A = this chain, B = another copy of it.
Amino acid sequence: MNYPNGKKGDVSSSNRKRPSSKPDFSNRGMTLEEDINQTNKAYLTLNRAVIHKKPTPVQIVNVDFPKRSAAVIKEAYFKQASTTDYNGIYKGRYIDFEAKETKNKTSFPLANIHKHQIDHMKQVCEHNGICFLIIRFTTLEETYLLPAEKLFPYWERQKDGGRKSIPYQEIVTHGYIIPLKFKIRVDYLQVLDDLYF
Contacts and interface: CB of A to CB of B under 8 A. Distances in A.
A79 to B, nearest CB: 8
Contacts of A74: 74-75
Q: Which of A73, A87, A128 has the most CB of B within 10 A?
A: A73
A50 to B, nearest CB: 5
A76 to B, nearest CB: 4
Given A47-B126, A75-B73, A77-B71, A55 B58 contact: yes
In the complex this chain forms, how many copies of it are found?
2
A92 B89 contact: no
Contacts of A47: 123, 126
Contacts of A2: none
Nearest to A64: B75
B73 A58 contact: yes
A82 B60 CA distance: 20
A44 interface: yes
A52 interface: yes
A114 B126 CA distance: 34
A50 B91 CA distance: 19
Q: Which of A70, A82, A87 has the most CB of B within 10 A?
A: A87
B72 A75 contact: yes
Interface string A90-127: 11111010000000000000000000000010011011
Contacts of A3: none
A94 B94 contact: yes
A127 to B, nearest CB: 5
Contacts of A60: 56, 58
Give 10 closest A-B pairs by Cβ, nearest first.
A92-B128, A73-B76, A55-B57, A89-B94, A94-B94, A55-B55, A89-B129, A50-B123, A89-B127, A54-B54
12 contacts: A47-B123, A50-B124, A50-B129, A52-B83, A54-B55, A55-B55, A72-B75, A72-B76, A73-B77, A89-B128, A91-B127, A93-B94
